[in-house]
Amino acid sequence: MQRLTRRQDFVAAAKASYAAMPGMVVQARDRADELEARVGFTATKKLGNAVVRNRIKRRLREIARLYLTQDARPGYDYVLIGRSPALTRPFADLHKDLISALKRLHRGPHVPSDKGRP
């Protein structure tokens, strides 16, 4: 899986849809192509000093390496934004957060049922 490195890719993903979970926020942007999915990681200064931010990003990178490669859709850019619970949250819970976020982001448009009305 390729990494996002350019600022304009992060800015474009920020304008796309997102899903907020306890451990992270996942942004997903459809590039409308069939190339390999790309992923980027970020942690704001509100989370703490550089040591804390880097530890959070390392945990997010490992979760993405283990699980995002199999669940990511081709043609998408994903940005994982660390939140403060990501520092101490168990890996199993971070995995659940990522899977839940991906399900929320990739489900089809909501179609209201007619409930038997003509």
Query: Where do the structural domains in the chain lie, given as residue ranges?
Result: 2-104
Nearest-CA neighbor of 31 among 50, 19, 15, 46?
Answer: 15
Claim: this prediction has a pTM higher than 0.95: no
Look-up of token digits 């703490």: 48
Q: What is the chain's pLDDT, residue by residue, as a tens digit (118 residues)?
A: 899 999 999 999 999 999 999 999 999 999 889 999 999 999 999 999 999 999 999 999 999 999 988 888 999 999 999 999 999 999 999 999 999 999 999 886 654 555 555 5
Class (C level, CATH) for 2-104: alpha beta
CB 14 within 8 A of CB 26: no
